[in-house]
């Protein structure tokens, strides 16, 4: 659904395209016209598919992920995106096992002739990542629930761990899964089935992590004595203003737009300026 659909112009342009480009007209029967249209649609879908497969393949070939060969191509492609985008996020540790992660860099509109960017509401999100332990296993739970939906850690979890290891990826994304799952007399198949059952019993627990990854989550505390633990502890690139902005968005339950946030903070700065003079 687009805003364009409020007018008939897309329909008219499609009509014109079909008449001129596909030569669908009164001289052809309905079945011939439909055939011409579907052939055109097939060709377009095919081109899009080939383009995305090329992109996917390039990303997989150039992958520097340590265990990339173990996972399906689509999984590696998605992991790359989530892992790389973590660098655009800011992070603050707010309690012993909790972090806030956010990215307020909203992309600009291209060729914005009519200044739509100004009036288009773009909401900001701050996500909370919590470390929880169930038995001996630790999990990172993020508000965005990407892991529960897709079995792949989100950029917020990657921001906290700053690294990736194989146990963080759901077993369904492993190359061995479609080949061995359910095959008779195979030990690997039994292991895969046990893993699936384990995953299902921890379905909503979040991303499973190893003890070394867990250690890495607390890297910003290194060199600090326990008596110095005054939260929040901000990542190196996070200013106190960044953190105040994130906290403001959290206080409104992520219902603030970029414009409202900027207005709120310009008012606060003005008030501080007036009281100090």
Nearer to Zn ion, 156 or 177 (CB): 156
* Residues 106-135: x where in contact with Zn ion by CB under 5 A, - otherwise, as a string: ---------------------x--------
Min dist. Cβ of residue 162 to Zn ion (A): 15
* Residues 147-166: x where in contact with Zn ion by CB under 5 A, - otherwise, as a string: -------x-x----------
- Residue 208 phi, psi (nearest 5): -70, 140
- In the β-sheet with 90-95, what is the strand arrangement from edge to edge? 207-209, 137-142, 126-134, 98-102, 90-95, 233-234
55: helix, coil or strand? helix
145: helix, coil or strand? coil
Token pair of 27, please? 């001289």
| Candidate list 79, 91, 126, 142; residue touching Zn ion; CB under 5 A | 142
Nearer to Zn ion, 127 or 243 (CB): 127
Min dist. Cβ of residue 155 to Zn ion (A): 7
Q: Does 245 bind Zn ion (CB under 5 A)?
A: no
Nearer to Zn ion, 90 or 192 (CB): 90
Task: Give the angle 72-75-235 at the CA atoms, nearest 5°.
Answer: 145
21: helix, coil or strand? coil
Q: Which residues of 88-102 are buried (b: 16+ CB within 10 A; e: fewer)?
A: ebbbbbbeebbbbbb
Q: CA-to-CA distance for 174 and 79, rounded, in angstroms?
A: 13
Min dist. Cβ of residue 259 to Zn ion (A): 24
Q: Does 86 bind Zn ion (CB under 5 A)?
A: no
Min dist. Cβ of residue 134 to Zn ion (A): 19
Min dist. Cβ of residue 23 to Zn ion (A): 50
Token pair of 154, please? 């989100």
Nearer to Zn ion, 146 or 192 (CB): 146
Give the binding site for Zn ion (CB under 5 A): 127, 142, 144, 154, 156
């Amino acid at each position: 659904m687009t805003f364009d659909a409020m007018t008939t112009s897309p329909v008219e342009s499609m009509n014109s395209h079909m008449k001129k480009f596909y030569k669908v007209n009164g001289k052809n029967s309905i079945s011939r016209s439909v055939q011409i249209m579907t052939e055109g649609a097939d060709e377009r879908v095919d081109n899009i598919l080939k383009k995305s497969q090329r992109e996917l393949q390039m990303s997989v070939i150039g992958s520097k992920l340590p265990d990339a060969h173990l996972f399906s191509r689509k999984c590696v492609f998605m992991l790359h995106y989530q892992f790389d985008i973590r660098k655009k996020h800011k992070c603050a540790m707010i309690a012993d096992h909790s972090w806030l992660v956010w990215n307020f860099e909203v992309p600009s509109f291209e060729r914005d002739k009519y200044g739509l960017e100004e009036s288009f509401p773009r909401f900001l999100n701050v996500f909370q990542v919590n470390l929880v332990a169930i038995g001996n296993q630790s999990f990172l739970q993020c508000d965005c629930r990407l892991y529960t939906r897709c079995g792949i850690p989100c950029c917020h979890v990657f921001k906290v761990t700053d690294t990736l290891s194989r146990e963080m990826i759901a077993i369904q994304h492993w190359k061995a899964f479609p080949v061995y799952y359910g095959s008779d007399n195979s030990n690997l198949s039994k292991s895969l089935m046990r893993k699936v059952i384990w995953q299902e019993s921890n379905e909503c627990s979040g991303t499973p992590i190893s003890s070394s990854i867990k250690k890495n989550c607390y890297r910003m505390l290194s060199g600090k004595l326990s008596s110095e633990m005054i939260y929040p502890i901000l990542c190196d690139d996070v200013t106190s203003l960044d953190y105040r902005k994130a906290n403001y968005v959290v206080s409104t339950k992520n219902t603030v737009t970029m414009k409202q946030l900027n207005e709120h903070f310009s008012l606060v700065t003005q008030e501080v300026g007036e009281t100090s003079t």
